[in-house]
């Protein structure tokens, strides 16, 4: 039942499947906005290399949980552990550099920059991010060499998501679905270990949805990436995620595989409007 490591996990009321090697652990996470408690003691883990789904009715605290994990909000209480290290309240850029990145619910492309620029921005620790190196004549050679590598990787990534024909287009001119692909391409360029996807399939047509899911599975298989997916589409979650976390009123209501969740009375009640 319990993991082998010694992390002191608060026992929750839910029956939790054993998670062999958790990459991300959230323990008693709490976030208050003024008098509103958006997240109230959420506790769950995400196994390394898994595709975990996070669902829950509107206002369950999914997005706030995401924002607390990724450093957009500072949690009021609780602990977040990533790869064995306490990351609670760290800034987004620190997390990204450690391999934990996210996409946004509404695709946030950098609209006045080209698709290629968007993607080339992402890799961390680029030599040319230093002013001195970019300006000084003798040192700019390194910048150029480094950037050629970034550019080639960027093209490969765009090809992977089949948006390379849009490379020189301003990102603002892309369609909704293409923006979602661009977001995925961009976070992938940071060379992450784990990607948090906030409703990546919202407003995406079925063909594109399939394409996106295909890519996610391929990245898991071939690069061992871990995904945590927030999604409203139940079918998508049930058919793709081997582990599902259900949130309700700021806490974790149920956890387990698709069958467990489907047969859980409390989940049905929460979704069909029991005590809200």
Partner 1 sequence: MSAVDSVRDRLDALPDVGLVVGFIAGIWTIMLLLAIAVGGAEWTNLAVGFIGSVTVLMGGYAILALALNLQWGYTGLFNIGIAGFMAVGAYTTAILTAPTDPAAGAVPGLGLPLWVGLIGGMVMAAIIGGLAALPALRLKADYLAIVTVAFSEIIRLVVNWDGLAEFSLFGLPVGTGGATGISFKSANEVASGFINGIGQPLVTAAESVGVSGPNLANLTYGLMLLGVMGASYWVLARITNSPFGRVLKAIREDETVTQSLGKDTRLFKIKTFMIGCALMGLAGVLFRGQAGYVSPQQFRPTITFYVFAALILGGSGSNTGSILGAATFSGLLFYLPARLGENISFGGTRAPGNIVDAVAGLASLDPLPLLAYTVGNVSTLRFVLIGVVLIYIIQNQPDGLLGHRNEPATSVSLDRSQAGPGGETDE
CB of 238 to partner 1, least distance (A): 29
Q: Which residues have CB under 8 Å from 126's CB, separation 6+?
A: 146, 147, 150
Q: Which of residues 146-185 bind partner 1 (CB under 8 A)?
A: 146-148, 150-152, 155-156, 164, 167-168, 170
- Residue 74 interacts with partner 1 (CB under 8 A): yes or no: no
68 neighbors 163 (Cβ within 8 angstroms): no
Pick from 13, 18, 144, 268 the residue near partner 1 by CB under 8 A.
Answer: 144
- Residue 116 interacts with partner 1 (CB under 8 A): yes or no: yes
| Span interacting with partner 1, options 5-13, 46-54, 57-65, 136-144, rule CB under 8 A | 136-144
Pick from 86, 129, 218, 257 the residue near partner 1 by CB under 8 A.
Answer: 129
CB of 171 to partner 1, least distance (A): 9
- Residue 239 interacts with partner 1 (CB under 8 A): yes or no: no
- Residue 105 interacts with partner 1 (CB under 8 A): yes or no: no
Pick from 14, 187, 194, 236 the residue near partner 1 by CB under 8 A.
Answer: 187
- Residue 130 interacts with partner 1 (CB under 8 A): yes or no: yes
| Span interacting with partner 1, options 12-20, 50-58, 118-126, 250-258, rule CB under 8 A | 118-126
CB of 108 to partner 1, least distance (A): 5
Q: Which positions touch partner 1 (CB under 8 A)?
A: 70-72, 91-93, 96-97, 101-102, 104, 108, 110-114, 116-117, 120-122, 124, 126-131, 134-135, 140, 143-144, 146-148, 150-152, 155-156, 164, 167-168, 170, 186-187, 190
């Amino acid at each position: 039942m319990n993991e082998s490591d010694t992390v002191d996990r608060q026992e929750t009321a839910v029956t939790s499947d054993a998670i062999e090697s958790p990459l991300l652990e959230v323990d008693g996470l709490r976030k208050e906005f003024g008098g509103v408690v958006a997240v109230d003691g959420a506790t769950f883990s995400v196994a390394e290399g898994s595709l975990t789904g996070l669902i829950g009715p509107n206002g369950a605290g999914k997005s706030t949980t995401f924002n607390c994990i990724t450093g957009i909000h500072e949690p009021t209480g609780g602990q977040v552990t990533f790869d064995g290290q306490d990351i609670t309240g760290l800034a987004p850029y620190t997390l990204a550099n450690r391999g934990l990145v996210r996409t946004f619910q509404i695709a946030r492309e950098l609209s006045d920059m080209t698709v290629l620029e968007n993607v080339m921005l992402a890799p961390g620790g680029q030599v040319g991010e230093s002013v001195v190196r970019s300006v000084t004549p003798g040192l700019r050679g390194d910048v150029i060499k480094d950037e050629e590598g970034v550019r080639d990787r960027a093209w490969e990534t765009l090809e992977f998501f089949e948006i390379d024909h849009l490379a020189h287009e301003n990102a603002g001119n892309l369609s909704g679905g293409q923006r979602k692909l661009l977001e995925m391409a961009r976070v992938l360029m940071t060379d992450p270990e784990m990607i948090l996807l906030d409703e990546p399939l919202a407003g995406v047509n079925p063909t594109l949805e399939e394409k996106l899911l295909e890519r996610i599975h391929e990245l898991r298989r071939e690069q061992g990436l871990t995904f945590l997916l927030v999604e409203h589409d139940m079918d998508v979650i049930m058919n793709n995620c081997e582990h599902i976390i259900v949130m309700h009123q700021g806490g974790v209501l149920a956890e387990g595989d698709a069958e467990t969740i489907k047969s859980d009375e409390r989940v049905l009640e929460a979704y069909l409007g029991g005590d809200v």
